[in-house]
Amino acid sequence: MRTAAVIAVTALTTGAGVATAGTVLASSQTSNPWYQGADASYAAVASTKASNAKPKNVILFVGDGMGISTVTAARILEGQLEGATGEENALSFEEFPNVALSKVYNVDSQVPDSAGTMTAMMTGVKTDIGVLGVDEGVVRGDCDSVAGTELTSWMMLAESAGKATGVVSTARLTHATPGGTYAISADRDWEDDGDLPEGCEDYEYGDIASQLLSFERYGDGFEVALGGGRRHFLTQDEGGNREDGRDLTAEWADRGDGWAYVDTASALDGVDLGATDHLLGLFASSHMSYEHDRVEEGADEPSLTEMTEVALEQLQDDKDGFALMVESGRIDHAHHEGNAYRALTETIELSNAVAKAVEMVDLSETMIVVTADHSHVFTIAGYPERGNDILGVGGEDSDGVPYTTLTYANGGEVAYGIVDGEVVRLDPSESDTSDPDYHQQVLVNTGQGAETHSGEDVAIYSVGAKAQLFNGVQEQNYIGVSIIESLGLDSVKTNVRSKSKSWSGSRGRH
């Protein structure tokens, strides 16, 4: 089995604030059985595929909760919105030449969450449900158990390599998927200091929001970070959740010339990217608006496509290349609410963002990967005719009561009621099932907003430099290993700043 030739990071110096020569990726990570298994798969695939030039850049698009049934239904809906039957349509990334399947389970869970899955995709190591940037040796919620379990993401490695780095999401930037690019946390819910449990007030890495700022310990910090979650960066006096008195948005902007912070789409449009080295945009207190609502309500928030375009404009001139993660986070949220229309229109907007990226980059030196962290209990059923409204009725049950083509195995929209003393399934055709606010019926009532993830494989679509590495059925952490090794990040020399110079100064806790 081929393994990366790496050693642990050497002792940090205190004078220059930079570690002495060594590699960022520790041997404890590359010797992890999950990493080694994916590394063997990578070596096997690489040996049978054409070996084109090493990619200089990477973009990972994550459709949170975007299972295959979601892709299929979104493809049909997009086609129907354009006046076609829909089935023959293709989303932008479905036209990529390489397709694989990803096995998404967490170490301790047959059906995964976004924290464990994102850690796998970013580090090449599978881990437990609910934790970020740490291996399975951690105890969720126990900050004292983190030491020795830390993992290095390819975003950290890219930053250490001098590449420009960026993260974009329609969810809170402190949420599991974007947080997985930069955070080391024993619990995905530690989004600000008020979320840290008793006894963890001086947790070495800090809350997730503060870690976005301390990401500069790997280089000079994110060049661009755009999304929601403003409340985790602001004090309570400013309408946020922070209890430590820190305004992280001000700390970002006050770092000097070239550091800019915006909180509206209008302000983003006014940013002079030529004079901006580091851009932070927080466009909502919590998650950003659904795309449908953003348009209908005229919210002063950028679309996912607009954020992707700005991010690439900010990143792609770096001579060393760039690394970018873009998440469509609200596909997942709409599914949890049992609202197919918004889940599918969020997926269509992700397709638009991918198309914009393909248009902007040089694929001969850029690897683009589109995938999901997990799926949902979302089905396409019945025998509707081709071209039938994908949001409409797909058939009738044994009692002659219609059912919609799209349904959920569980969730909060109860399908049954009492009529004349008998339990009957309610007739969805008595409602406008194409209305954006319609919630599909469910089989098992798990409560409002409580539709669950599912455990089946999800697809990986890839194009560009070395994209042919993505084929077959792979463990999800194969994505992380493939990105790390294809870009040569496994041998990146460390540029980690010392805690005495950077961490204590920014966090103000020691």
- Residue reference for tokens 């054409």: 50
| Nearest-angstrom CA–CA distance, 477 and 153 | 11
Q: What is the pLDDT of residue 334?
A: 98
pLDDT band at 259 (very low <50, low <70, confident <90, very high): very high
Mean predicted confidence (pLDDT) in 274-298? 98
Q: What is the pLDDT of residue 410?
A: 97
CATH of the domain at 159: 3.40.720.10
| Nearest-angstrom CA–CA distance, 279 and 276 | 7
- E strands in 363-439: 366-371, 375-376, 378-380, 393-396, 402-404, 406-411, 416-419, 422-425
- The answer to whether residue 22 is domain-embedded is no
**How are strands ordered across the β-sheet holding 458-464?**
259-262, 278-282, 224-228, 164-172, 322-328, 57-63, 366-371, 458-464, 98-103, 472-475
Q: What is the pLDDT of residue 69?
A: 98
Q: What is the CA radius of gyration of the chain?
A: 23
3-state helix, strand, coil in the chain (%, to 5): 35, 20, 45
Give residue-wise pLDDT tens across range 307-350: 999 999 999 999 999 999 999 999 999 999 999 999 999 999 99
Is residue 419 located within the same domain as residue 462?
A: no
Is residue 176 located within the same domain as residue 77?
A: yes
Is residue 438 located within the same domain as residue 474?
A: no
Q: Name the domain boundary from 445, 472, 491.
A: 445
94: exposed, middle or buried (C-beta count within 10 Å: 0-12, 13-18, 19+)?
Answer: middle
- The answer to whether residue 15 is domain-embedded is no
Mean predicted confidence (pLDDT) in 453-469? 97
Question: What pTM did the predictor assign?
Answer: 0.93
- The answer to whether residue 262 is domain-embedded is yes
Positions at the binding site for Mg(2+): 64, 175, 177, 327
Is residue 73 located within the same domain as residue 218?
A: yes
Is residue 43 located within the same domain as residue 92?
A: yes
Give the catalytic positions in this structure.
114
Q: What is the pLDDT of residue 366?
A: 98
- The answer to whether residue 224 is domain-embedded is yes
Give residue-wise pLDDT tens across range 476-496: 999 999 999 999 999 887 655
Is residue 436 located within the same domain as residue 459?
A: no
Identify which has the larger pLDDT, 491 or 119: 119
- Residue reference for tokens 């209908």: 296
Give residue-wise pLDDT tens across range 104-117: 999 999 999 999 99
Residue type (1 letter), 105: Y
CB atoms within 10 A of CB 508: 12
pLDDT band at 2 (very low <50, low <70, confident <90, very high): very low
Q: What is the pLDDT of residue 494?
A: 65
- The answer to whether residue 14 is domain-embedded is no
- The answer to whether residue 358 is domain-embedded is yes
Q: The domain containing residue 418 runs over which residues? A: 389-445
Is residue 99 located within the same domain as residue 159?
A: yes
CB 63 within 8 A of CB 376: no
pLDDT band at 49 (very low <50, low <70, confident <90, very high): confident
Mean predicted confidence (pLDDT) in 220-241? 97
Give residue-wise pLDDT tens across range 60-79: 999 999 999 999 999 999 99
- The answer to whether residue 182 is domain-embedded is yes
List the one residue out of 508, 388, 502, 494 whose CA is nearest residue 11.
Answer: 494
pLDDT band at 505 (very low <50, low <70, confident <90, very high): very low
Is residue 486 located within the same domain as residue 396?
A: no
Q: Name the domain boundary from 445, 464, 479.
A: 445
Using alpha carbons, list the distances in angstroms from residue 174 to 58, 189, 276: 22, 9, 23
DSSP 185-245: BS-TT--SGGGSPTT-TT-TT--HHHHHHGGGGGSS--SEEEEE-GGGTSBGGGTS-BSS-
- The answer to whether residue 5 is domain-embedded is no
| Nearest-angstrom CA–CA distance, 342 and 294 | 11
With a CB cutoff of 8 Å and minimum separation 6, the contacts of 471 are: 45, 98, 99, 100
The domain total for the chain is 2
Model confidence at 102: pLDDT above 80: yes
Is residue 441 located within the same domain as residue 466?
A: no
Q: What is the pLDDT of residue 504?
A: 31
Model confidence at 408: pLDDT above 80: yes
Is residue 303 located within the same domain as residue 240?
A: yes
Is residue 239 located within the same domain as residue 117?
A: yes
pLDDT band at 52 (very low <50, low <70, confident <90, very high): low
Positions at the binding site: 64, 175, 177, 327, 332, 336, 373-374, 453
Is residue 301 located within the same domain as residue 406?
A: no
Strand, helix or coil for residue 396: strand
Q: What is the pLDDT of residue 210?
A: 98
Q: What is the pLDDT of residue 419?
A: 86
**What backbone torsions phi and psi does residue 409 show, to the nearest 5 degrees?**
-70, -30
Give residue-wise pLDDT tens across range 268-282: 999 999 999 999 999
Pairing of strands 416-419, 422-425: antiparallel
Using alpha carbons, list the distances in angstroms from residue 211 to 63, 117, 357: 23, 20, 27
Helix (H) or strand (E) holding 61: strand 57-63
